[in-house]
A = this chain, B = another copy of it.
């Protein structure tokens, strides 16, 4: 049983717009045990859309169309799918009446082209759209002796998602063999991607029944584990066994097993231990504070701090002695530690964090190259400082540095 997703709309054939509905639909289909074999984007063009629909109906069991269901001349999905299937459209007068009523309630005359949205493919069921005017359609049919399920879905994501859960998922679940799907995501911080894969591939390759996807970003490697089995207990057992082995191997590099972000985990520990945090950032320019405050309720564990971009502000807000900066440079272990210790004390916090580094592209020297970053944390008794040299451009270096800062914090408070 394979599925194909066809996103309709010329705007998705420009350099500016991506189809993103297919990511949602893929996840939904995977959870029902259905694999997506093809994704197509096609513009608002009759011949092109018929061609895409014909190819899909010829090769895939389930075909989902998104978009092109509106009232304008450009909206051609209904017409084209009917043409590809060789069947007629019939106008559903109940839908037309309901539309007239809705416009009348708002005391607006209905533009005549709106009636188009009531055209239904022969044999299709109309799927009410609770969040918009264009209803979806659901059709089970046979083409050249092969069973096909065809769905027409609205393009706006909030309409599509509501309609999917209410109308499509239950219908599809009835047609498919029962499949229990369990997902688990392990997230790790500050593990190099190549090392993460080298250490884990021999483990997850022993589990061909669990689909493992490794995703790597700046300072974060995630393992997405997906298992399908006849019962939920079997699927859960398969995922848990692999997750356990991966956690044993990766140890405390794993910071989350339930989807939480690194900033959420840091916030969770700070709040649990009733600790208040203050930060003093130079090269990250506020990124660590921004990430921490992106968590709702962060005022319970985060006081604030200073963005000490200039040397004067390092002294003014974090009391770093000018002589220290002169002796060791603003980018040094000593300054990072002073930032962490002093911001903690000045703000009357329990934990202080300090960051200084060279984000580039200019400002690097042979001794202190672009990418060099010092991160320090202090709880008044223990001080920790790490020196790192991060790769990439300004944005990547800053992102790596903020990730390192959050990870050092996590290790201090967990």
Contact = CB atoms under 8 A, between A and B. Distances in A.
Interface of A: 11-18, 20, 23-24, 26-27, 30, 35-43, 45, 48, 51-52, 55, 59, 213, 215, 224, 278-279, 281-282, 284-290, 292-294, 296-299, 302-310, 312-313, 316-317, 346-348, 359-363, 394-395, 398
A297 B362 contact: yes
A63 to B, nearest CB: 14
Contacts of A52: 38
A287 B285 contact: no
7 contacts: A13-B35, A13-B36, A37-B48, A284-B290, A293-B309, A299-B363, A307-B307
Which 5 residue pairs spanning A and B have beta carbons closest together? Answer: A285-B293, A286-B286, A286-B289, A15-B27, A304-B309
Nearest to A288: B286
A344 to B, nearest CB: 13
Contacts of A40: 38-41
B296 A361 contact: yes
Nearest to A346: B316
B298 A286 contact: no
A172 B218 CA distance: 36
A359 B297 CA distance: 10
Given A15-B27, A307-B305, A348 B312 contact: yes
Contacts of A363: 299
Nearest to A15: B27
Contact of A285 (B13, B38, B45, B298): B298
Contacts of A12: 39
A60 to B, nearest CB: 9
Contacts of A17: 215
B37 A45 contact: yes
B303 A312 contact: yes
A398 B295 CA distance: 12
A38 B37 contact: no
Contacts of A298: 285, 309
Given A51-B55, A286-B290, A347-B316, A37 B15 contact: no
B39 A41 contact: yes
A11 B213 contact: yes
A312 B215 CA distance: 41
A30 B278 CA distance: 50
Given A14-B30, A38-B42, 8 more contacts: A40-B41, A289-B307, A293-B359, A296-B362, A298-B309, A302-B310, A303-B309, A304-B309
Given A285-B298, A304-B308, A307-B305, A38 B27 contact: no
Given A37-B45, A37-B48, A306-B307, A213 B16 contact: yes
Contact of A310 (B282, B286, B294, B303): B303
A252 to B, nearest CB: 25
A289 B285 contact: yes
Contact of A286 (B48, B307, B398): B307
Nearest to A395: B294
Contacts of A362: 296-297
Nearest to A14: B213
Given A16-B213, A312-B303, A294 B38 contact: no
Contacts of A35: 13
A408 B42 CA distance: 41
Contacts of A282: 304
Contacts of A316: 346-347
Contacts of A394: 294, 296
